[in-house]
Structure 1
Amino acid sequence: MNKLKLYLLILNLICGFGMLLAQEPTIPKTIDRIDLRGNRAFSKKELNKLLQVKSQDKFDSEALTRANEQIHSFYVSKGYYLAEVSNQTSESGSKINIIFLIRENSKARVGEFRFQGNKLFSEDYLKQKIRLKANDSFTQSLLEQDIEQVLKLYDQNGYPYCQILPSELSLDEVGKVSFSLKIIEGPQVKIQKVIFEDIKESSDPILRKALGIKSGEIFSGLRVEKALKRLNKIAILNGTPSYKLESTPDVQLANLRLKVKEEKNNSLEGILGYTPAPTNRKSSGAWVGKINFIFNNFLGGLREAQIKWERKDLFSSNLGFSYQQRYILNLPLAAKISFWQKDQDTSYIQTSVRTEWGYSWNEHLNSALELGWERVIPEKESQGIFPISQKISWGANLDLDYLDFNYNPQKGIYYQVQLSYATQKNQATSSYSPAKNQNHNMTSLIKLQNFIPTFDQQSLMVAANWGKIKSDEKIVPLFNQFKLGGISNLRGFREDQFSGSEVFWSNLEYRFLLSQLSRFSIFTDYGYFSRYTQENNNIKKIGGGKIGYGLGLRVESKIGLWGIDFGWGEADKLSQGKIHIGVVNRF
């Protein structure tokens, strides 16, 4: 019996081995060619990008099914809800050819739709606010965008808990989509408390004034976002503030919690530069610089005080003080007074006092009115050129600011227009008698900046500026003229190297944004100036255009924000470049 079992076992093994030898070996199939047919709305190149199956890949039936689904999903996302996708395969040895057969059919269109549950707004009003219209093309993304638009509309009117649920969606045989949008409005919500996070106790009342949102107001997400943008421009903050709405036991009340991270209030700005001596002078170069102390939240409240000192060359220096009070009488009203004295080499001493009243209309638009007094006393060497003069001026400024971030913007525009009118009284010196004892000046200045994002963390800055002085005296005195040259307008030239009664300068700068405050830049500047001057008892017009170029770097560090600029004028050698090194430290 045991021998019989052994024989049967051996016989089974021999038969099984024989069957294995009789089976043909499985040869893996490879995709040779992929083709698409029937596609009209989209090119083969567009559709091939969707596919995860490629030529020379191993054939996988599951991957082929997924490819069908990918093409179909793409057509549906573009509004072709009736699209049909299938495939055919043909084999040649170990090679397989695949053909995707597409039947696009007509694109889906908007059929009948209606709103349900809306009480605050009428159905006709809501239909005006959305993009979907009867017989227009229909896509799921358009529907989602319209739902978001209606939700924002409710949010702006105090209904942050509003919900919109699509229902009764149907697609008929001609591709028309009908649906209903069920609106659950929820309660209208008022702000119970405004809560600031991560701020100093002394800053709380200041930030509340700047925010402009009070307890008891109807909540509006749009109003809160605008208030935070305004707060970010007025206060010294680290990053963009954010908010969230916290519910309370009373569904009609909610707390507005604001996350704000303050920077240190005070700052020291310092710039050190070296200007080589002109090639036509036998003298050494000069170290120039600027120091600016800024005290924010000065003596508590939205107050700012500044002390500024500047040295432009071996013989010229400026000294100034200013004080500003913001949100006077709990209004977006600011008042500023400033004092400035300029000692221009051996030419004159200029002293000015100015007051400014500004009003912030919204987070983008600001205006100001100015009133100023100025006195110019010529030095001994210039008493045969300039009179002693006193000037009263008044003017207006208008700013339009759409920059995404004031300190290191990547996108946005900034426009500024300044107009001022001045009456100047002239007094004779011992060696000079002015042609007129009184004259009038009209000064205009326009500044435009545009930041254009290009690639990730890169932007192009384009700026254009124009200024002109109209005067009833042909030759405008030097101290009234616009100045060109230096880090603020025409880099690659000495500070205030050129002057004119009419000037234009433009800046083209490509920026690589390294962090929120850091960047590397390549720039070129152009400046033009013109003025009338007197030579040999003849009055003639002089002027010209200048080009500068260079590199700039701003880097954050524990000490502060460091900056360095290298600039060259159009005719400068490498060794004649102008260097400016600066640091901003908060304390």
Structure 2
Amino acid sequence: MKKIFIGLSFSNIFLLILLIILSTSIPINSQNIILIKGNKFFDENIYLRWINLNNKTNLFAGISDTIKSRIENNLRNEGFYFPHFQSLTVDTSKKLIEISIDEGFPAVVKNIFIKMNFEDSTRIKNYFKVLYDEKFSELNLQSAIDESITYLENNGYPFAKITIESISFVKQDDFYSTNILLSLEQNTKCYVNKFIIEGNFKTKDYVIIRETGIEPDQFYRQSDIDKIKHKLNRLRYFETVEEPIYYLTNENKGVLKLSIKEKETNSFDGIIGYVPSSQFEKGYFTGFLNLNFENLFGTGRFFKFKWQQLNKTSQDLDIKYLEPWIFNYPFNIQVGLFQRKQDSTYIQRNFESSFEYLSNRDFSVSFVLTSQSTISLVKSNRNIYNSSTLSYGFALKNDTRDEIYSPTSGILFNGSYKYFSKKFNDFTISKTSLQKIEFDFSFFTELFFKQILALSIHAKELKGNLADISDLFYLGGTNSLRGYREKQFFGNRILWTNLEYRYLFSKYSFGFLFFDTGYYQLNENQSFSIQLQKDFKIGYGFGLNIETGVGILGISFALGKGDSFTDGKIHFAIMNEF
């Protein structure tokens, strides 16, 4: 008997140890359980979303108040203002929450009374019509009030206000009839009778007022006021523009105060280099000279002079002038001269004028007229002949960028069509016609704080059977396909894209990574001994845009298709806008 008793004791001990191990390693319930009872209008999943309690949250007695508050708030948003909690228990040991609720009946809007003395009362009432016979929601009521205030602010009443005087609920059979009483005080109708501008030591007052788009004695419109800062920033004349301030004088005259800080808009920059003599050729100078007057005499006029010696045999000259707002109407006139000497093969001169209509501050339409002459410097060159060309066409522009030099949002679209009538002076065919179509689109968006995505797509096509080299489009370099020499490729059709990821250091300075693609196609032309050529190229790299005293300097390091690191190109650019 003694041996049997000892054996049973060891068996019991073994079972006891096993039970202890199992009970400590396998919890009975590791997640919170929430049970909902009595709900009629909203299912259990909706309640769980409202309660928003993590399954692993440690339960405590006071959590019931939080749960109750969350349910009540969400029920109110759904129009249920009279719920009754029959019970709400929290069992922390079992991680169990039991809720028994009577949701009550919904509150339905039946009457909205507005006390007002306003000439367009019907318009105001229309904003509240959508609330009738719907479940009452404080959010929806506030939305209708906000829409009404916005309408009033855009129609001369910046100091209008709407007050909720009372909300009453009357119990019906299966709903609560909701009655709302509001009062509207529109106050004095306001006008912009006077502008006060501070900080403009150079720019004329009328230039700033004109850019706001607000006419003298125009009634107050909040939507116009909200756009002023954006419009003035895009002029590129000011370092900072503060939010406009509007107030009434003792005589009830409306004053709009604009405070700005001007910046230097005229720039002069240049560089000169010398390539020393070698065994095969004499030394020569290279470089460029760039003069920009972006706000000439504070009137908004623009003048630009740019000269560039690309190499010993290539040279560019670019002169432009812009006269804005002719006779104080939204029309701009621009004239320009562009001359290119290309590799001692030809000289091309363009006299261009454009007449631009400003539909609004973002969109414009232009008529363009150009006279072009081409002089061949090599008589035996069958790729180019002496010619004169007259062209005309139109251009569209839409610019919603928030900034010109370093945009963080918006788009830029440029599209143009030109028809060319070309006459040859020393060719078997005396006359031909050409057409040029150009398309440029850029998109900017802020992905994260100070992190900008910039995407641009560009396409150009030349149509016509007798296009010589001087008519073609060029591809490659700083402003198109990085990783290649300036104007390395040319063709009747070119297409390129630029994708940049930018990180802003300041308003105009940023670092960036980029990936460019480019395609060119040179059509076969037996008349000019031109063979068919086409290819697809890529370029990639990194760079910096840095704000300096002479402008915004852009520098990038780029690799082309198949390049090693030692083959990389360094591109420089001074950014300006015309």
TM-score range, shorter chain: 0.7 to 0.9
User: Are 1:226 and 1:363, in contact at CA under 8 Å, matched by a contact in 2?
Assistant: no
Mapped to 2, the partners of 1:535 and 1:329 lie a distance apart of 51
- How far off its partner does 1:73 sit? 2.8
* Residue matched to 2:435: 442
Summarize the Cα distance change of 1:44–1:165 in structure 2 as closer, same or farther, 3 Å threshold.
closer
Residue in structure 1 matching 2:57, options 51, 55, 58: 55
- How far off its partner does 1:536 sit? 11
* Alignment of structure 1 residues 67-466 onto 2, 5 Å: 67-77=67-77, 80-83=80-83, 87-90=88-91, 92=93, 98-99=97-98, 110-117=109-116, 119-123=118-122, 125-129=123-127, 132-136=130-134, 138-171=136-169, 173=171, 174=175, 177-200=178-201, 203-251=204-252, 253-268=253-268, 291-313=289-311, 315-380=313-378, 383-428=381-426, 434-466=427-459
- How far off its partner does 1:100 sit? 5.5
* Residue matched to 1:468: 461
Mapped to 1, the partners of 2:216 and 2:503 lie a distance apart of 43
User: Are 1:270 and 1:583, in contact at CA under 8 Å, matched by a contact in 2?
Assistant: no
User: Are 2:383 and 2:529, in contact at CA under 8 Å, matched by a contact in 1?
Assistant: no
CA deviation map 1:466-520 (0-9, x unaligned): 222222xx24211111111112121222111111212222222222233322222
Mapped to 2, the partners of 1:342 and 1:558 lie a distance apart of 29
User: Are 1:462 and 1:507, in contact at CA under 8 Å, matched by a contact in 2?
Assistant: yes
- How far off its partner does 1:232 sit? 2.9
CA deviation map 1:385-442 (0-9, x unaligned): 31111111112111111222222122222222111112111111xxxxx242111112
- How far off its partner does 1:310 sit? 3.0
Summarize the Cα distance change of 1:67–1:553 in structure 2 as closer, same or farther, 3 Å threshold.
farther
**Larger mean Cα displacement after TM superposition, 114-123 or 443-452:** 114-123
- How far off its partner does 1:163 sit? 0.9
TM-score by length of 1: 0.80
Amino acid corresponding to residue 379 of structure 1 in structure 2: L
- How far off its partner does 1:114 sit? 4.3
User: Are 1:350 and 1:377, in contact at CA under 8 Å, matched by a contact in 2?
Assistant: yes
Amino acid corresponding to residue 469 of structure 1 in structure 2: L
User: Are 1:132 and 1:138, in contact at CA under 8 Å, matched by a contact in 2?
Assistant: no
User: Are 2:436 and 2:461, in contact at CA under 8 Å, matched by a contact in 1?
Assistant: yes
Amino acid corresponding to residue 348 of structure 2 in structure 1: Q
Mapped to 1, the partners of 2:270 and 2:216 lie a distance apart of 42
CA deviation map 1:360-395 (0-9, x unaligned): 111211121111111111122664431111111112
RMSD (CA atoms): 3.5
Mapped to 1, the partners of 2:75 and 2:571 lie a distance apart of 58
Mapped to 1, the partners of 2:569 and 2:405 lie a distance apart of 24
Mapped to 2, the partners of 1:328 and 1:514 lie a distance apart of 39
* Residue matched to 1:22: none
TM-score by length of 2: 0.81
Query: How many residues were matched structurally?
Result: 532
Residue in structure 2 matching 1:489, options 480, 486, 490: 480
Q: Secondary structure at the match of 2:238?
A: coil
- How far off its partner does 1:195 sit? 0.7
- Return the structure number with greater relative CO, CA threshold 8 A, min gap 6: 1
Mapped to 2, the partners of 1:381 and 1:103 lie a distance apart of 99
Summarize the Cα distance change of 1:538–1:294 in structure 2 as closer, same or farther, 3 Å threshold.
closer
Amino acid corresponding to residue 500 of structure 2 in structure 1: E
| In the alignment, structure 1 residue 551 sits paired with structure 2 residue 548 | no
Mapped to 2, the partners of 1:131 and 1:54 lie a distance apart of 46
Residue in structure 2 matching 1:477, options 448, 452, 468: 468
Amino acid corresponding to residue 76 of structure 2 in structure 1: V
* Alignment of structure 1 residues 567-582 onto 2, 5 Å: 567-582=558-573
- How far off its partner does 1:184 sit? 1.1
* Residue matched to 2:5: none
- How far off its partner does 1:443 sit? 1.3
User: Are 1:395 and 1:420, in contact at CA under 8 Å, matched by a contact in 2?
Assistant: yes
Mapped to 2, the partners of 1:45 and 1:562 lie a distance apart of 57
User: Are 1:563 and 1:581, in contact at CA under 8 Å, matched by a contact in 2?
Assistant: yes
Q: Secondary structure at the match of 2:494?
A: strand
Mapped to 2, the partners of 1:445 and 1:415 lie a distance apart of 11
Q: Secondary structure at the match of 2:364?
A: strand
Mapped to 1, the partners of 2:481 and 2:575 lie a distance apart of 22
| In the alignment, structure 1 residue 530 sits paired with structure 2 residue 529 | no
Q: Secondary structure at the match of 1:207?
A: helix
User: Are 2:202 and 2:298, in contact at CA under 8 Å, matched by a contact in 1?
Assistant: no
- How far off its partner does 1:257 sit? 0.7
Summarize the Cα distance change of 1:261–1:376 in structure 2 as closer, same or farther, 3 Å threshold.
same
- How far off its partner does 1:265 sit? 2.0
The answer for unaligned runs of 5 or more in structure 2 is: 1-28, 37-41, 274-279
- How far off its partner does 1:212 sit? 4.0
Mapped to 1, the partners of 2:325 and 2:286 lie a distance apart of 37
Residue in structure 1 matching 2:505, options 502, 511, 514: 514
User: Are 1:342 and 1:349, in contact at CA under 8 Å, matched by a contact in 2?
Assistant: yes
CA deviation map 1:87-123 (0-9, x unaligned): 312254xx87555666666766544334431523242
Summarize the Cα distance change of 1:139–1:493 in structure 2 as closer, same or farther, 3 Å threshold.
farther
- How far off its partner does 1:242 sit? 2.0
User: Are 1:346 and 1:381, in contact at CA under 8 Å, matched by a contact in 2?
Assistant: no
- How far off its partner does 1:148 sit? 1.9
